Amino acid sequence: MKNSQKKNLGIGLVVLGAVLLILATVIPPLGNLLDINIYTAGSAFLVIVGLIVHIWMNKKLPLDEEPEDED
């Protein structure tokens, strides 16, 4: 994976978790999914893990740093 793709991994997880919750809210046949705790907890887990991964991946990576010149 490229560095730019790694940095966007967390945002993708957050969006996926949010889309799952939105779909279950907006589409009536999927409304019963919100009553299932594992579905709601799984979506919330994706959002939380996505935020953590986003923060962790966007820290200054050693690969992004330029080597210092020693005089």
The number of folded domains in the chain is 1
Residue 67 lies in a domain: no
Residue 42 lies in a domain: yes
Residue 63 lies in a domain: no
Residue 41 lies in a domain: yes
Q: Where are the alpha helices (DSSP H) in 1-71?
A: 3-7, 9-26, 37-57
Residue 45 lies in a domain: yes
Q: Give the domain range for residue 34.
A: 3-9+18-57
First to last CA, the chain: 35
State the Cα–Cα distance between residues 55 and 52, nearest whole angstrom.
5
16-47 pLDDT, tens digit per residue, is 999 998 988 888 888 788 788 888 899 999 99
Give pTM, 2 decimals: 0.72
